[in-house]
Amino acid sequence: MQRTTHRSQLLARPVITAMAAMVALTATSCAKSKDDASDSKKSPAAAADAGQKVASPKPGSKTCAIDAYGGEKLDLKGATVGFSQSEKEANPFRIAETQSIKDEAAERGVELLTANAQSQFSKQISDVQDLLAKGADLLVIAPLNSDGWDPVLQAAAARRVPIVTIDRKINATACKDYVSFIASDFVEQGRRAADRMIEATGGRGEVAILLGAAGNNVTTERTKGFKDRVAEKAPDLEVVFEQTGDFAREKGQQVTEQLIQSKPGIKGIYAENDEMGLGAVAALKGAGKKAGDVEIVTVDGTRNAVQGIVDGWITGVIESNPRFGPLAFETLDTFTQGKEVAQDIIIEDGAYDTSNAEQDLGKAY
């Protein structure tokens, strides 16, 4: 096993604060130097001035402590943490997510074991089992799917290894099978995307949804938020096309090419991540469309998508912050000291449109 080596930080280290005996955490929204990050720890106001995002317990979230979970107190600095990444690091979200975990482990001097499932669920299950076999005392998992985790949960429980899940939720019992889930509010992301689409289209016309990958809560919740808000606020805006693009740019382009053929009058496209949205842009360009002919709203906040707003091809981007490292490690540190942590921790995300895309491009990842 090798300890991760520290390298120049790509992402600023977030500020950590306490909130009503639960963990209130922060996630940075832009890359800054270590000196800037250190200065921002002076006060919440300084953190806000630095453009950092707050993460806090989900309203109504219960707490979890070691006694209830069945774990043991330990010093995080002397522990080995295993991190399981779900997808190929072929898009900015996954690259930033993994780097954030590595940077925080290095910052804290914690031994880190990593594995990448390469978008294969069976491999992720075996990856996590291997991390346990190699001696991981704690686990951080970015799940590919929400179901099918029983073998891992049983193995971790047998070794009394606490698990924190990030980004996508495991369908299991909090404070029994895992400690905490840290993520954005995906339903709210869908609502905000719908608000932007309604504004751009005037609330009328036909729109399409490029769905994310099947089998996880992100796709389900981003779809629900969008559809519910459209039904509530814009009944004349009709969703006439839904097809999965698997969160991939190439697949998003292929699906949009089919969309253009079957629905030539489409007025808007809601892509449930930036990569599919960028694929949609490529398809529209290939079909001879001009920037602005079709309104495109995406979710993530990658630099390429925000640049797409500047260039006129993308209407709006709802941020989904991938910088989970400080949040995950602070949760584990608090938990292993015997203190309570929230079972659900929500990141407060920003958004980009024509009013701020150019000036805030440096905040994108």
Using an 8 Å Cβ cutoff, are 324 and 27 in contact? yes
Per the rule left: phi > 0, alpha: psi between -120 and 50, beta: everything else, 101 is alpha
Q: What is the pLDDT of residue 215?
A: 87
Same domain? 86 vs 148:
yes
Half-sphere exposure in the Cβ direction for 103 (13 Å, CA): 22
Model pLDDT for residues 85-126, shown as the tens digit of each residue: 999 888 899 999 999 999 999 999 999 999 999 999 999 999
Q: Which tokens hold the place of 51?
A: 């453009």
Same domain? 150 vs 223:
no
Half-sphere exposure in the Cβ direction for 19 (13 Å, CA): 19
In the three-class reduction of DSSP (H, G, I as helix; E, B as strand; rest coil), residue 345 is classed as strand
Q: What is the pLDDT of residue 114?
A: 98
Instruction: Please give the Cα distance from 9 to 25 (Å, whole number).
Output: 19
CA 134 to mean position of chain CA atoms: 27
Q: What is the pLDDT of residue 90?
A: 86
Q: Per the domain annotation, does 154 fall within a domain?
A: yes
Q: What is the pLDDT of residue 233?
A: 98
Same domain? 326 vs 306:
no
Q: What is the pLDDT of residue 71?
A: 84
- The neighbour count for residue 172, using CB atoms within 10 Å, is 17
What range does the domain containing 105 cover?
Answer: 16-178+321-363
User: pTM above the 0.75 mark?
Assistant: yes
Q: What is the pLDDT of residue 5?
A: 36
Q: What is the pLDDT of residue 43?
A: 30
Q: How many folded domains does the chain comprise? A: 2
Q: Based on C-alpha coordinates, what's the Rg of the chain?
A: 20
Residues of the chain with pLDDT under 50: 1-52
Pairing of strands 163-166, 180-184: parallel
Same domain? 113 vs 228:
no
Instruction: Please give the Cα distance from 188 to 342 (Å, whole number).
Output: 20
Q: Per the domain annotation, does 9 fall within a domain?
A: no
Q: What is the pLDDT of residue 55?
A: 82
